[in-house]
Amino acid sequence: MGNAQLLSIHVHPVKAFRGLAPREAEVEPWGLAGDRRWALVDDGGKVATQRQQPRLALAAAELLPGGGVVLSAPGMDPLTVPVPEPAGTITLDIFGDKVEGVPAADAAAHAWCSEYLGARTRLVHMDDPATRRPVEPEYALPGETVTFADGYPLLLASAASLDALNSLIAEGPHAAEGPLPMNRFRPNVVVGGTDPWAEDDWSLLAIGDVTFRVAKMCGRCVVTTTDQAAAVRGKEPLHTLGRHRRLGGKLVFGQNLVPRSRGTIRVGDPVRILE
């Protein structure tokens, strides 16, 4: 494990949109700086995801200094959206969690999102991740919070585990769908130089000088079957995960992390397994 290192970093400024791949990122208590601070919300207050809207995979958001975003998508003109003033929050529903968020101040942002999805939609910003939403209680420590991510501040994935999974897919009935790229799993950090599935046994690790608690394995959903470049779905990897990576009723790939310290992580940083 002495050669384990950080291969890539991924930040998703708008939940469910395509991610960015910076060479370095600031780690905050609730995740990577700028990650999933924005989300799209339907008329009923539910946060939009690729589970219901796979074409969100084709939309992108450039992250601006200060936290604003530039939205872009096929057939749409780019739109710059500044961070709204922290006033007039609305209640969002994200997998049953009730969370407060601040709608974008410019009506053009909501119109842009509504036009792209073909349904009335609002663009909402999380103004204060320190207080807005706790990590999933069953696996959280007191005071741990998260943004609009599915449940945890960061998701770690292993390049070796993806290689192993792709080898299994190649032996199965849907081999033509493989090999799958890492973006199917939408991680924040990808590590290399480890054995396949070694991450299953980690409980505490450091990337560079930043320490992370391993909260739980990540149960995977239909989003992983969505081609992130075409927004179409197949059978994999869920078919193969169901045969080889089923744990407690979940199909698992990757580990959910919670930062234990602040700092900067950089591509190429050593990864040390502490526990």
Domain residue limits at 47: 5-273
Please tell me the predicted confidence (pLDDT) of residue 131. Answer: 82
Cα separation, 146 vs 37, whole angstroms: 10
Tell me the pLDDT tens digit for each residue of 206-265.
999 999 999 999 999 999 999 999 999 999 999 999 999 999 899 999 999 999 999 999
Tell me the pLDDT tens digit for each residue of 68-86.
999 999 999 999 999 999 8
Where residue 201 sits, what CATH number does that domain have?
Answer: 2.40.33.20
Tell me the pLDDT tens digit for each residue of 31-75.
999 999 999 999 999 999 999 999 999 999 999 999 999 999 999
Cα separation, 58 vs 51, whole angstroms: 14
Q: Would you say the C-alpha torsion 223, 225, 226, 227 has a positive or negative sign? A: positive
The pLDDT of 140-167, averaged and rounded, is 97
What are the CB-based long-range contacts (under 8 Å, 24+) for 63-68?
A: 63/11, 63/13, 63/20, 63/34, 67/34, 67/37, 67/125
Please tell me the predicted confidence (pLDDT) of residue 5. Answer: 99
3-state SS, 45-73, equals CEECCCCCCHHHHHCEEEECCCCCEEEEE
Please tell me the predicted confidence (pLDDT) of residue 1. Answer: 61
Instruction: With H, G, I as helix, E, B as strand and everything else as coil, classify residue 84.
Output: coil
Query: Contact at 8 Å (CB) between 264 and 24?
Result: yes
Please tell me the predicted confidence (pLDDT) of residue 187. Answer: 99
Of all residues in the chain, what percent are helix, strand and coil, respectively (each to 5)? 20, 35, 45
Cα separation, 135 vs 69, whole angstroms: 25
- The pTM assigned to this predicted structure is 0.96
How far CA 254 is from CA of 122, 130, 217, 241, 260, in Å, comes to: 31, 25, 6, 12, 19
Cα separation, 248 vs 239, whole angstroms: 16
Please tell me the predicted confidence (pLDDT) of residue 37. Answer: 98
Q: Would you say the C-alpha torsion 104, 109, 113, 114 has a positive or negative sign? A: positive
Cα separation, 160 vs 144, whole angstroms: 29
Tell me the pLDDT tens digit for each residue of 79-131.
999 999 988 899 999 999 999 999 999 999 999 999 999 999 999 999 999 88
Query: Contact at 8 Å (CB) between 251 and 219?
Result: yes
Give start and end residues of each alpha helix (H) in the chain. Answer: 107-117, 129-132, 159-170, 238-244
Q: Is the peptide bond before 179 cis (omega within 30 degrees of 0)?
A: yes
Of the pLDDT bands very low, low, confident and very high (cuts 50, 70, 90), residue 274 is very high
Tell me the pLDDT tens digit for each residue of 179-192.
999 999 999 999 99
Domain count, the chain: 1
The pLDDT of 147-162, averaged and rounded, is 98
